[in-house]
Amino acid sequence: MDEGEILQQIQSLVSPDEWQSAQTLVGANASSTTIVQCLVQSGALTDFQAEGIERGAFVGLRIGNYDVLDRLGAGGMGTVFKARHRRMRRVVALKLLARQHCEDPMFVNRFQREVQTLAKLSHPNIVLAYDADEADVGHFLVMEFVDGADLATIVARRRMTLRDAVRAICDTARGLDYAHKRGIIHRDIKPANLLQDAATGVVKVTDLGLARPAELSAANSGITQAGGIIGTADYMSPEQAVDSTNLGPATDIYSLGGTLYFVLTGKAPYRANTLMNTLLLHRDGPIPDVRADRPEVPVRLAELTRRMLGKTPADRPSSMEKIVAELEAIESELGDEVMESEFGATSVFSEKFVGLEALDSSSSSKPISVIVVEPSRTQAKIIRRCLEATDTATVEIFATGAEALANLRTRRADVVVSAMHLKDVTGVRLAQDVRAILGPPAESKAPGFVLITSASEGPEAAGLSSAGLAISLHKPFTPEQLIQALSLAIGLPLPVRPLDESFAGSFVGASMMGKPPSRVVGKGSFENKKVLLVDDSSAALMYERKVLEEIGFKSFVEALDGARAVAAAAIQPFDLIITDYNMPIMDGAALVGYLRENPATAKIPIVMVTTETSAEKLDPIRRLNVAGIIEKSFAIDVVRNVVEKLW
């Protein structure tokens, strides 16, 4: 594939606005490598997509109507990807049947049954199915994307509080109760198949590949034969080990009991040196007492765990509905607890958001030690080159939070710079654990912490700064802003040295960086004017911000649609609002109309940026007395001419 074809493929993966903004920043004749770096930095492409482009594996970056954004995991049936519908822009989880199974009727039938089972179920505690189809790469199922982690991963990081454990199992029981009442038995309940949403804490049941209607016989199942063993041995009921085809709700109750034991203790109820010995322990071994491993577990909760692990269905609670009622009663009796990190240290999480402010950069020139925790190799390389090119810091890079924590326990670092979403934890969780283990910087040798977030991740990161947990730095950012964030994190001003010419083009918007903002002679300074930028394209926001910085503006707030802009304008004043026309939820026209009708915002100058040329659409905007309507190219001379007339 030649360079022209590669550029065409890259262009097909992003929106027209994102492509145009990238070309404006790096030049129309830039190489595919430079454009990919620009698109990754702006958030238009993911690191997974960038690596696929580098390998020339464009086929795997689009499945049906979905752009593949990342690889979430893989199992015996296939691989699960994070993807986005090209038109709806909805982010989903896409499960692709492994190529070697596509010609095997048993696996295809099992996959189709999962599709059909999910299609029958719609419940807050069960992952929803959106779509299913077949593409060149094989059969695929499109499901709700849960932005979080499974319970196995969560417990591996830290012991759950009793309340969190009870809530997680109660959520699961609610979803399974709904499925059981519709005749669906899961048959593979385990911690790895229960996903917890990081934002809400809600747990959802996933992976219904082994689920089946309770009345389906072995003769017509087409998947297993009587006496066959399917499921996961650590959580499998005694009767499922004997015959996987003739099962009722009691088998899921047993498996959920084993999962409850796990989230309370960090280990499965039975584990032996072989698969068969593990299965025999489920059948013949004494039921373990959860209080032996965790004495603070209430007697009532320990007793429920024991009953759910009863050796026969008759020994267990009769339904998930009764388990839900019991867990709800137990939760109401629980007291407050202290959250713990995986190392057993208490962690404090307080809620306040600290913005980035400029510091005097006249301190010592000695480089500081920085740990970068970033799964994206492209983004990590950009940060490293940015810091090392300015002689500001020495840098070590890690892809996971666990690697960074292990390093911090053995050596001194001045500051940690972390992405929000890592391979094993969130950046929020990593910041908590760094403080839990090492304490705040003011009281110990703990490093400062900078969390890199996008606009959509702002609420998730909004609790970090009050107790000195972290400084939040929004993407896209300049090298100067990164260094200023490091200064705030360590409490010392750092010098901002100009970038070497060889670095130009490696960082998005490098041609505009390292220059002092220009001033408009005779028109006063814009540096104290606060601007609200509204656009659903992160690349467009980045470009508009750079142009405005060239003119002299310094203070910005960004919103990805009109509704978020309204929310921003309700809590803080703005001197200027610059908005796109076509946006989801509330478009630019509706936004301008709302702002003009609200007395608190009626007099704020508004500039519309759009590709629209229709008088039918633009004349109503003009009648609302906007300060100007500017083409999407956002030419600096045009923008300067408009804003000069305002002050």
What is the CATH code for 148-333? 1.10.510.10
Taking the CA atoms of 610, 615, 621 and 625 in sequence, report the sign of the dihedral they define. positive
- Statement: residue 454 has pLDDT above 70: no
Which pLDDT does position 283 carry in this prediction? 93
Walk across the sheet containing 606-610 and list its strands: 555-559, 530-534, 576-580, 606-610, 628-631
Q: How far apart are CA 343 and CA 262, in angstroms?
A: 18
The number of C-alpha atoms within 13 Å of 512 and in the hemisphere containing its C-beta is 22
- Which of 381, 372, 379 has its CA nearest to residue 414? 372
Residue 399 C-alpha from the chain's centroid = 15
Kindly give the interhelix angle for 47-55 and 377-389, rounded to the nearest 10 degrees: 100
Q: Which of 285-294, 336-345, 549-558 has the lowest mean pLDDT?
A: 336-345
For the chain, residues classed under CATH 3.30.200.20 are 3-144
Q: CB within 8 A of 332, min separation 6: which ones?
A: none
What is the CATH code for 3-144? 3.30.200.20
Q: CB within 8 A of 340, min separation 6: which ones?
A: 158, 159, 161, 346, 347, 436
Q: How far apart are CA 396 and CA 412, in angstroms?
A: 12
Which pLDDT does position 291 carry in this prediction? 94
| Residue 437 neighbours by CB distance under 10 Å | 18
pLDDT category at 258 given cuts 50, 70, 90 is very high
Which of 188, 252, 433, 536 is labelled catalytic?
188
The pairing of beta strand 576-580 with beta strand 530-534: parallel
Which pLDDT does position 445 carry in this prediction? 60
Q: Which of 203-217, 404-418, 460-474 has the lowest mean pLDDT?
A: 460-474
Which pLDDT does position 335 carry in this prediction? 65
Give the angle subtended at the CA of 430 by the CAs of 428 and 432, to the nearest 5°: 70
Q: Which of 247-251, 320-324, 428-432 has the lowest mean pLDDT?
A: 428-432
Which pLDDT does position 57 carry in this prediction? 80
Q: Of the ranges 210-219, 420-429, 620-629, which is most confident? A: 620-629
Which pLDDT does position 502 carry in this prediction? 44
Which pLDDT does position 212 carry in this prediction? 53
**pLDDT tens digits for 353-390?**
233 333 333 444 567 889 999 887 777 877 887 776 55
- Which of 50, 30, 54 has its CA nearest to residue 41? 50
**pLDDT tens digits for 103-152?**
777 777 777 777 777 777 888 899 988 888 888 888 888 889 988 889 99
**pLDDT tens digits for 140-171?**
888 899 888 899 988 887 788 999 999 999 99
- Which of 597, 570, 573, 593 has its CA nearest to residue 581? 593
Which pLDDT does position 88 carry in this prediction? 85
For the chain, residues classed under CATH 3.40.50.2300 are 368-512, 530-644
pLDDT category at 469 given cuts 50, 70, 90 is low
**Summary mean pLDDT of the chain:** 78
Q: How far apart are CA 10 and CA 314, in angstroms?
A: 60
Which pLDDT does position 495 carry in this prediction? 61
Percent of the chain with pLDDT strictly greater than 90: 24
Active site residue 188: yes
Q: Is the pTM of this model over 0.75?
A: no
What is the CATH code for 530-644? 3.40.50.2300
- Statement: residue 336 has pLDDT above 60: no
- Statement: residue 474 has pLDDT above 90: no
Q: CB within 8 A of 19, min separation 6: which ones?
A: 11
pLDDT category at 252 given cuts 50, 70, 90 is very high
Question: In the predicted model, what is the mean pLDDT of residues 460-478?
Answer: 59
Structural class in CATH, domain 368-512: alpha beta
For the chain, residues classed under CATH 1.10.510.10 are 148-333
What is the chain's Cα-based Rg? 28
Q: What are phi and psi of 57, to 5 degrees?
A: -95, 65
Residue of 9 and 308 predicted with greater confidence: 308
What are the Cα distances from residue 483, in Å, to 268, 493, 539?
46, 9, 22
**pLDDT tens digits for 479-492?**
777 877 777 777 66
**pLDDT tens digits for 37-87?**
888 877 788 888 888 888 888 878 988 999 999 988 877 677 899 999 988
State the first-to-last Cα distance of the chain, in angstroms, to the nearest integer. 53
Q: How far apart are CA 305 and CA 303, in angstroms?
A: 5
Question: In the predicted model, what is the mean pLDDT of residues 326-333?
Answer: 92
